Structure 1
């Protein structure tokens, strides 16, 4: 049976707006390697110190992965927000996609009355709509961070991107 499991947790490290923490990079690298072998797909968003992750795959594989996630010291207070049976995956092309589109997600949340990103406060319908929003980013072929990057490019002179941005672009590519 295929399932979609969405959970939230608190990051055990802080992430500044101008850099990516190496621990997040390791999470993405490990997830991509392990998830493709287990035929698990999904998406990960990190904002305001919270993780929101959607995992899709066979129930035994996804449930087993979630148990390992609960033992991972890089985040804590993991709570399953949704676990449903599905007929078709939304994220079959992503072993683990990172969504860096903070401004897009904030706009999405503000349109629904939320002032900040706290996945523990989201209503069940908003969780499902947010997962669909992430899926639409995939289907449209738009880079999730494109709007943020365009705004940055307008405000800053053209210079070579810092190493971490080039590295992040390869990870989220």
Structure 2
């Protein structure tokens, strides 16, 4: 095995889309109904071995919910290797926020891997999104993954996919 690679990934999206819950599910396999708003940034760490045998340490930056990139949040993005855009499938307006964030990152971070996560797929009866609404992401080559931070559905696969993209595998 080679040296341990360290990569910084960020989660971006509106308030309440489940960024913190996704991270807690991925890192600790824990879910809580309690809503805790992230203020500023919270950093988690997860070490994993990719199917290729590559050892990877992910520094996962959970940025507070925001509808646009502000000057203070640009500092949090420095050194970012990849990012998730997170939207809540039960709130269509959060997809528009993800689109705005993506467009604001497109210039400076266009060569950095990203994935769009549509979270809360366990609430299918309240789902407001269909593929036509996020087809622009697909056309731009952005992988779209539906997840549930509550059940864990798609969470591991999403982080693994981004980890593979960030290592070029």
Same fold (TM over 0.5): no
- More helix by percentage: 1
Q: TM-score, normalised by structure 1?
A: 0.26
Higher Rg: 1
Q: TM-score, normalised to structure 2's length? A: 0.26
Q: Which has the higher contact order (CA 8 A, sep 6+)?
A: 1
